[in-house]
A and B are shown apart, each in its own frame.
Chain A
Amino acid sequence: MADSVLRLLRTLNRGVAYLIGIMLLVCAAFVLADILLRQVGTSFGGTDEISGYVMAIATAWGMSFALLELSHVRIDLLRQKANPLGRSLFDIFSMIVMTAVVLIIAYQCWPVLERSIINGSNANTPLETPLVWVQGPWFAGWVWFGIVSTLTTLSALTLIVQGRFAESERAIGAFGEADML
């Protein structure tokens, strides 16, 4: 059960990460086109604004992928000295804390979107983008991060209770920053 949940989450987030990647590539192309257009005296207008939205959405949705790839940096100086049981206790503790904080963040992000929905706010910019369009996906990304953290924590907890420390370490352990490359 626990491992199939983790496998599913990984597959889903890999798909999400590809989508974010495509979004970033398109955004880079757009920025590039704008620079070229400016050389001939014209411009799309609003590339800055769009880049900002892309960044906010990419960041929110990328968090879960980074989580499952164990990329969120942890200082594992003490942790690495512990035995497998100790290490998994470090891991599950840090996951529980992380999940709690992520849920608080997602919860606190809602009022931002709520205000835009109620007021029907448009961005105070040349494009006058309706903020709901961009804050909606952004908020959803943080909620998704909350869901993925919660499910990952529960799965890892199950693995630890069953004494499957090696598997839990693969799910929520710590790599050094070096292994990220």
Chain B
Amino acid sequence: MITYTAVGLLGMLALSIPVGIVLFLLGIGIDQFFSAFPLLRGLGSLVWSSSNSATLIAIPFFVLLGEILVRSGVAARTYAALDKWVSWLPGGLVHANIATATMFSATSGSSVATAATVATVAMPQAEKLGYDPKLFSGAIAAGGTLGIMIPPSINLIVYGFLTQTSIPQLFLAGLIPGLGLALAFVVMTAIICTLRPSLGGPRRTFPLSAMMGALLHLVPILLLFTAIVGSIYKGWATPTEAAAVGVAGAFIIAFFFGRVDFAMIGQATLGTVKITSMIMLIVIGASFLNFTLASAGLGRELQGFLNGLGLSAISTMLVIVLIYIVLGFFIETLSLMVVTIPIMVPLVVELGYDPVWFGILMIVLVEMALITPPVGLNLYVVQGARTSGNLSDVMLGVIPYALVLLLMAGALLIFPQIALFLPAFLS
């Protein structure tokens, strides 16, 4: 059954059948070939119960928040402010790319939206100030991936929903690895630019008064982050309610900058409906596949599979990490997560690992998938914001950051506490 699912999955994906539909088909196939009971009859109630969800409505809310924020004009101001604070480091403005991406990650639940936002405001600067495009654009593509790690995160909501893991716990668990990655990106940039200054750009210092004045421009984003994440941990709001708070906050910011009008709301709404439906087709398909796999006895088969392999827990984890890296070359973020969750998570839990921890490890691997060619969404998003130059510049520039992500995956394997410390400490 595991082989059938894996082969069927890859084959049908290669035929370019929509990912969500492939999941339904696999579920229907398992019902036909592996189950003694007619599982297809459960399909209708599953479609109802997996979309009738007050948890998942956080997805359209967070998407809407991002759509409004992108159009609010706050990105340019944040970028200019962070430039004043971090451009003294070796590598100059490259650090502002990472810092802006980190700040946006803290309000956005999506990596692609984060990369797109930062690329739009940063790219014109690179051309104006004469930066080497490789590291500069690589830093945006990689920094953008933090969007799904630093809370809020749409991917963690979906993971929590499908594996019945606490979403607030997942959000907390993502915070230290997310900030750690941001810091590691900065350190990596500084090291590279110290060794090869030509890869960065001019270092710039600003007078203290300018730096202090710039802080004002960071306030909207910081307030929004505090409102969203704070209201969850103060116990005032569930993640869904916090998302609604975020939407209101984003509206206020956009209103403050005079960007709210009917056209803008209309575009933001259409974008939200489109992305939400795209995500939900995959989520509902995965719920159905989950249900058929579990009903047809996946647990027992996995146990046998693991015993047959005769590998230790850690070697199995290494194999899993390798599988994600390879799949990550070809499949993207949410699709990659959702198509693998039904098999991988029961397997990992069977090995005795914490599903919260595995969620975070999976996010790191999915972040890598976002920047590894030939299919690496963030590479294309950043390239899309450039007016000249080749995609290969971005691909080369992102390599050091991909290494950082790989190191983080290793660190999580050796020290699970990186993810698990904060949820345990605060609960």
Interface residues of A (CB under 8 A from B): 14, 17-18, 20-22, 24-25, 27-29, 31-32, 34-35, 38-39, 47-49, 51-56, 58-60, 62-63, 65-66, 69, 71-79, 90-91, 93-94, 97-98, 101-102, 104-105, 108-112, 134-135, 138, 142, 174, 176-178, 180-181
4 nearest CB pairs, A to B = A21-B269, A62-B277, A66-B277, A108-B43
Instruction: Tell whether B128 is near chain A: CB-to-CB under 8 Å.
Output: no
Which of A18, A48, A69, A105 is within 8 Å of B274, CB to CB? Answer: A69
Given contact pairs A35-B237, A65-B273, A75-B13, A177 touches B332 in the complex (Cβ within 8 A): yes
Instruction: Tell whether B45 is near chain A: CB-to-CB under 8 Å.
Output: yes
Contact B57 A62 (CB under 8 A): no
How far is A58 from B276 in the complex, measured between Cα atoms in Å? 9
B369 CB to nearest chain A CB (Å): 12
| Residues in chain A near residue B243, CB distance under 8 A | 28
Contact B14 A77 (CB under 8 A): yes
Contact A21 B270 (CB under 8 A): yes
Which of B13, B240, B274 is within 8 Å of A51, CB to CB? Answer: B240
Contact B47 A14 (CB under 8 A): no
Contact B57 A97 (CB under 8 A): no
Contact B57 A54 (CB under 8 A): yes
Contact B25 A97 (CB under 8 A): yes
A145 CB to nearest chain B CB (Å): 9
Question: What is the interface of chain B mostly: helix, strand, loop, or mixed?
Answer: helix
| Residues in chain A near residue B278, CB distance under 8 A | 66, 71-73, 180
| Residues in chain B near residue A178, CB distance under 8 A | 112, 377, 380-381, 384
B137 CB to nearest chain A CB (Å): 14
How far is A90 from B52 in the complex, measured between Cα atoms in Å? 33
Contact A98 B272 (CB under 8 A): no
B152 CB to nearest chain A CB (Å): 14
Instruction: Tell whether B16 is near chain A: CB-to-CB under 8 Å.
Output: yes
How far is A66 from B61 in the complex, measured between Cα atoms in Å? 17
Which of A18, A34, A56 is within 8 Å of B52, CB to CB? Answer: A56
Interface range on chain B (Cβ under 8 Å from partner): 35 or more
8 contacts between A and B (CB under 8 A): A28-B244, A31-B244, A62-B274, A66-B281, A104-B24, A111-B44, A138-B51, A177-B333
Which residue of A has the minimal Cβ distance to B48?
A112
How far is A142 from B187 in the complex, measured between Cα atoms in Å? 50
Which of B231, B270, B271, B277 is within 8 Å of A63, CB to CB? Answer: B277
Given contact pairs A51-B54, A77-B374, A101 touches B48 in the complex (Cβ within 8 A): no
| Residues in chain B near residue A76, CB distance under 8 A | 16
Which of A31, A135, A181 is within 8 Å of B48, CB to CB? Answer: A135
Instruction: Tell whether B241 is near chain A: CB-to-CB under 8 Å.
Output: yes
| Residues in chain A near residue B374, CB distance under 8 A | 77
Which of B15, B248, B331, B332 is within 8 Å of A28, CB to CB? Answer: B248
| Residues in chain A near residue B266, CB distance under 8 A | 18, 21
Contact B332 A55 (CB under 8 A): no
Contact B48 A109 (CB under 8 A): yes
Instruction: Tell whether B149 is near chain A: CB-to-CB under 8 Å.
Output: no
B67 CB to nearest chain A CB (Å): 9
Q: Which of B147-168 contact A (CB under 8 A)?
A: none
How far is A147 from B251 in the complex, measured between Cα atoms in Å? 36
Q: Which of B247-302 contact A (CB under 8 A)?
A: 247-248, 265-266, 269-278, 280-282, 284
Contact A77 B375 (CB under 8 A): yes
How far is A58 from B281 in the complex, measured between Cα atoms in Å? 12
| Residues in chain A near residue B16, CB distance under 8 A | 74-76, 78-79, 90-91, 94, 174
Sample of 15 more A-B contacts, CB < 8 Å, known A47-B54, A181-B381: A18-B266, A20-B273, A21-B269, A21-B273, A25-B64, A28-B243, A28-B244, A62-B276, A71-B278, A75-B330, A78-B15, A97-B21, A109-B44, A111-B44, A181-B112
B99 CB to nearest chain A CB (Å): 22
